[in-house]
A and B are shown apart, each in its own frame.
Chain A
Amino acid sequence: MGKEARDILAKLKRGDKGSLTRLKQNIKTNEKYQLDNFDLITWFLVS
């Protein structure tokens, strides 16, 4: 189980609305977290 799944489970226990919406989307976390699914809008290099 990854971080998002743990996070959603924890929020569901408290009855968080957003996590329920996420659950209803029915998108597996390993399908969601692909490089192509995200836009890198901006980034900073920390040196």
Chain B
Amino acid sequence: MSLKTSLSKVHKCKAPSITQTNGLSLKLSSFTIERFAPYTKLFNEKEWDFETKKKNRNAFYEWIKWIAENHPKVHAKLSKPIDILIATDTLSEGQNLQDADMVINYDIHWNPVRIIQRMGRIDRLGSPNKKIFGINFWPSNNINTYLNLQGRIEERMAAMKLAGAEVDHQFSETFAEIIQDESLDQKMNARMMKQMETTWDDIEVTDEGLGFDDLSLERYRQDLLEEFNKDKNKYLKMPKGVYTGFKADKTICNENGIIALLGYPARPSKKPDYDYQLFDLIYINMQGKTVLLNQKEILDALTVHKDKNRFVLDAIDRGDEDAIKGLVNAMQGWLNDQAVEIEKQSDGTEKK
């Protein structure tokens, strides 16, 4: 429970920033803030000729009695407490307001640093509160879909975590999932390893650096949507199993093979509106071994080759039995690998 026990008085404080130079508003705002956070602003931050053996909150209560006798003007402020302070973003930094135990973000700033800073007003050393609370008001679903505010902030926070910043893991449910995601850990480890080899600047300026884009598939979605809208009917009518091919840039796709999108479980024959439970985007060589593990890397590889001319071996286009069999074997090999690992023993036999 906070020191502020009653919630009866609400005060609107338009710009209580300490950076304000206008004398009148500075006086007004400090007066407001002292009434809002007397424990921090008056009792802790100012020097008083007052001594007590008690600590924290108890010392504060004793100090109030002492103030009543010795400083009537200060006591006048204490007798007009403000329980709820409504402020613009100007209050998000620079003020200690540990008296309060709750921050409600009625507008969410796009920059996660700001949100962390706002919480930081009450999440400080010397707080008399055992628990503090943060509440975020997200826009309604329609608007959020349009702005993708939550998604963008979460992505930025994830990027900050990668860069080593301290972030609030419980910020939202989806964010908790993002940071628990295996690939994020891997990326973070990879980045830390890289940092040991090179300096920060090297990572930032090269293309290999991990940017905001790397955490979402938005770029591919945009690309696909643009292509899809060019000729919707063509794509909607496309049959299952449609294929193409390209001559690969060996620095990106260093092995011949297949990139395939698989849907699981297979669609029953009489269900046109069927949703797959999961999709697998795989890049395997002709032995069925994975070439690129990460789905994003595969999408990257496809993006690089998207404007190349179609190139498929004649034998495959003709439906040559041997050529097709080779492809089926590759797929079969990959499926087997997912289910059972076969280990070759030293005597040449195989162990499952």
CB proximity to A under 8 Å, residues B290-343: 302, 311-313, 316, 328, 331-332, 335-341
Asked if A40 and B182 sit within 8 Å, CB to CB, the answer is no
7 closest A-B pairs by CB = A45-B245, A33-B339, A43-B260, A33-B335, A39-B263, A30-B339, A44-B259
Which one of A2, A14, A39, A43 lies within 8 Å of B341 (CB-CB)? A2
Encode A1-14 as 1/0 by CB contact (under 8 A) with B.
11110000011001
Asked if B337 and A46 sit within 8 Å, CB to CB, the answer is no
Q: Which of B16-24, B212-220, B248-256 contacts A (4 or more CB under 8 A)?
A: B248-256
Interface of B, helix, strand, loop or mixed by DSSP: mixed
Q: How many A-B residue pairs have CB under 8 A?
A: 115
Asked if A43 and B243 sit within 8 Å, CB to CB, the answer is yes
- Which A residues lie at the B interface, using CB under 8 A? 1-4, 10-11, 14-17, 29-30, 32-47
Asked if A44 and B302 sit within 8 Å, CB to CB, the answer is yes
CB proximity to A under 8 Å, residues B225-243: 240-243
Task: Give the CA-CA distance A45 to B267 in the complex, in Å.
Answer: 23
Counting CB contacts under 8 A, is B283 at the interface?
yes
Which one of A10, A14, A33, A42 lies within 8 Å of B260 (CB-CB)? A42
Q: Which residue of B lies closest to A15 (CB)?
A: B180
Asked if B335 and A35 sit within 8 Å, CB to CB, the answer is yes
Which one of B182, B248, B316 lies within 8 Å of A11 (CB-CB)? B182
Asked if A43 and B313 sit within 8 Å, CB to CB, the answer is no
Residues of A within 8 A of B177 (CB): 17
Task: Give the CA-CA distance A32 to B265 in the complex, in Å.
Answer: 8
Distance in Å: Cβ of B287 to nearest Cβ of chain A: 14
Tally B residues with Cβ within 8 Å of A: 45
Task: Give the CA-CA distance A42 to B316 in the complex, in Å.
Answer: 15
Residues of A within 8 A of B312 (CB): 45, 47
Q: Which residue of B lies closest to A43 (CB)?
A: B260
With A16-B180, A44-B302 as contacts: A4 and B338 at CB distance below 8 Å: yes
Asked if B253 and A46 sit within 8 Å, CB to CB, the answer is yes
Distance in Å: Cβ of B308 to nearest Cβ of chain A: 10
Give 4 new A-B contacts, CB below 8 A, not counting A41-B241, A41-B263. A33-B339, A39-B240, A46-B246, A47-B312
Asked if B336 and A33 sit within 8 Å, CB to CB, the answer is yes
Counting CB contacts under 8 A, is B247 at the interface?
yes
Residues of B within 8 A of A32 (CB): 264, 338-339
Counting CB contacts under 8 A, is B262 at the interface?
yes
Counting CB contacts under 8 A, is B258 at the interface?
yes
